[in-house]
Amino acid sequence: MRAMKLSFSGLKANFAKFLLKQGESNTLNPLEDSLFLFSSELKDFLKSEYNLNLSEMNLTFDELLSADFSGGEFDFGDQTADLENETFDKYEFLQGCLNEFISNDEIKTMIDSDGDKDLSKQEVMNFFEQIKGADGNDDDISFKDLFLTFSGAVKEEKPEETQPTEQNNVSNNSGSYNNNNNVNNNSDSGNDSGQENPGDYSTKSTEELQKLSEQNNSDLSAKSEALKNAISGNTDKIKTAKTNYDSAKSTYLEALNGDESLAELKDKSIQNTNSIEAVEGEMSALQLQQSENDSAISGKENEISGYDADLSELNSSKSALSSKKSDDPEKQKEISDKLAKVEAEIKRITELKTHAEAELKTLNDTKTQLEQDLTSKEGELSELQSAKKDIDNAILSNKNVSEDTKTALRDFNSSKTELDKTKTEAITQAQTDYESSKVEAKKVNEVLNEKQAKEKSKEYSVNTGEFYSDSDYEFEEVHNPNGFDYVLIKPKDLDETQEVPVITWLHGWQDGNFDRIKNTSMYDLLKNHPEEMGGTFNGIIVMPLSPDSKWKAEVNDIKNVVREVGKTYNIDKDNIVVAGHSEGSLGVLACAGDNDDHFFSRALTCSASFVNGSIMDKINIPVYGVGGNGDMDKNTKNVIGSIKKRGQDGQYFHVNTGHAGVPRCAFRDLKDSDGVPKVFKLLFPDYFG
The CATH number of the domain holding residue 644 is 3.40.50.1820
pLDDT (0 to 100) of residue 297: 94
CA angle 252–255–260, rounded 5-degree value: 140
CA 80 – CA 83 distance, rounded (Å): 10
Distance CA 503, CA 200 (A): 26
Rounded Cα gap, residues 502 and 3, in angstroms: 45
Residues 569 and 427 placed together within one structural domain of the fold: no
Mean pLDDT of 4-24: 33
Q: What residue spans of 398-507 are helical by DSSP H?
A: 403-457
Residues 602 and 592 sit within 8 Å (Cβ to Cβ): no
Which one of 134-138, 182-186, 676-680 scores highest in mean pLDDT? 676-680
List pLDDT tens digits, range 646-688. Answer: 888 899 999 998 888 899 899 989 988 888 899 998 998 887 7
Q: For 339-387, how does the pLDDT look when each residue is reduced to its tens digit (9 = 90+)?
A: 999 999 999 999 999 999 999 999 999 999 999 999 999 999 999 999 9
Tell me if 158 is assigned to some domain. Answer: no
> Which tens digits make up the pLDDT trace of 78-95?
434 443 333 333 334 344
What is the per-residue pLDDT for 356?
Answer: 95
Residue 296 resides in a domain? yes
Do 399 and 472 lie in one domain? The reply is no
Q: Are residues 294 and 271 in the same domain?
A: yes
> What's the pLDDT score for residue 568?
87
User: Is pLDDT of 637 > 80?
Assistant: yes
* Residue 122 maps to a domain: yes
**474/454 same-domain check:** no
| Gap between the Cα atoms of 24 and 21, Å rounded | 6
The pLDDT of residue 206 is: 79
Q: Is the pLDDT of residue 405 over 60?
A: yes
Answer yes or no: is pLDDT of 165 > 70: no
Q: What is the pLDDT of residues 479-500, one digit of tens each?
A: 888 788 899 999 988 877 778 8
pLDDT in tens, 422-438: 999 999 999 889 988 88
Say how far apart CA 356 and CA 298 lie, in whole Å: 12
Alpha-carbon distance 339 to 318, whole Å?
6
Those residues with Cβ within 8 angstroms of residue 99's Cβ, 6 or more apart along the chain or in another chain: 10, 11, 14, 519
506: three-class secondary structure by DSSP: strand
- Report the alpha-carbon distance of residue 128 to residue 119 in Å, rounded: 13
Residues 610, 662, single domain; the answer is yes
In degrees and rounded to multiples of 5, residue 4 shows phi and psi of: -130, 155
Establish if 19 belongs to a structural domain: yes
In a domain, 258, yes or no: yes
pLDDT of residue 145: 52
**Exposed, middle or buried: residue 365 (CB in 10 Å: 0-12, 13-18, 19+)?**
exposed
Same domain, 260 and 359: yes
Q: For residue 349, which of 445, 208, 452 has the smallest C-alpha distance?
A: 452
* CA dihedral sign, ordered 494, 496, 499, 502: positive
d(CA 130, CA 156): 15
Q: Are 591 and 617 in contact (CB under 8 A)?
A: no
Q: CA-CA distances (angstroms) from residue 48 to 88, 180, 238, 360, 635? A: 18, 68, 75, 69, 18
Return d(Cα 202, Cα 448) in angstroms, integer: 9
pLDDT of res. 392: 92
Question: Which residue in 521, 505, 465 sits closest to 664, CA to CA?
Answer: 521
Cα–Cα distance, 564 to 557 (Å, whole number)? 10
Which of 153-157, 501-505, 626-630: highest mean pLDDT?
501-505
Are 429 and 533 within one domain? no
Distance CA 90, CA 602 (A): 30
Q: Which of 104, 124, 152 is the last residue of a domain?
A: 152
Rg of the Cα trace of the chain? Answer: 36
Does residue 424 lie in a domain region? yes
E strand or H helix that includes residue 279: helix 264-323
Enclosing H/E stretch for 653: strand 650-654
Pair 36, 64: CB distance under 8 Å: yes
- Between CA 573 and CA 567 the distance in angstroms is 13
Tens of pLDDT along 215-272? 988 898 999 999 999 999 999 999 999 999 999 999 999 998 888 888 888 999 999 9
CA-based nearest residue to 229, from 372, 378, 429: 429
Domain that holds residue 673: 468-687
Domain boundary (136, 152, 168) is at 152
Question: Tell me, what's the pLDDT at 35?
Answer: 25
Entry pTM:
0.48
* 162-178 mean pLDDT: 37
State residue 658's pLDDT score: 85
- Sign of the torsion angle spanned by Cα atoms 607, 611, 613, 615: negative
Q: Which residue has the higher pLDDT, 371 or 65?
A: 371
Indicate if 592 and 475 belong to the same structural domain: yes
Per the domain annotation, does 427 fall within a domain? yes
pLDDT at residue 129, rounded to an integer: 59
| 133 found inside a domain | yes
Which pLDDT score is estimated for 133?
58
Residue 99 and residue 240: Cα distance in Å, rounded?
68
Q: Which of 6-20, 532-546, 578-592 has the lowest mean pLDDT?
A: 6-20
Q: Report the chain's mean pLDDT, rounded to a whole number.
A: 75
Q: Could you give the number of structural domains in the chain?
A: 3
Residue 263 CB burial class (10 angstroms; 0-12, 13-18, ≥19): exposed
At 459 the pLDDT is 76
CATH at 321: 1.20.1270
Domain check: are 576 and 484 in the same one? yes
- 288-326 per-position pLDDT tens digit: 999 999 999 999 999 999 999 999 989 988 887 887 777
One domain, residues 425 and 475: no
Q: Give the per-residue pLDDT at 610.
A: 64
Does residue 394 sit in the same domain as residue 427?
Answer: yes
The mean-pLDDT minimum among 105-114, 226-235, 392-401, 571-580 falls in 105-114
In terms of pLDDT, which residue wins out, 557 or 14?
A: 557
- Helix, strand, or coil (residue 484): coil
State the pLDDT at residue 166. 33
Q: pLDDT of 383-400, one tens digit each?
A: 999 999 999 999 999 999
Of the candidates 459, 484, 499, which is a domain's last residue? 459
Note the pLDDT of residue 631. 66
Q: Give the DSSP letter of residue 677.
A: B
> How high is the pLDDT of residue 29?
32
Is 639 a residue whose pLDDT tops 90?
no
Contact 611, 551 (CB under 8 A): no
Domain co-membership, 328 together with 405? yes
In terms of C-beta distances under 8 Å and separation of at least 24 residues, what long-range contacts does 523-526 make, across chains too? 523/487, 524/664, 525/663, 525/664, 525/667, 525/668, 526/473, 526/475, 526/489
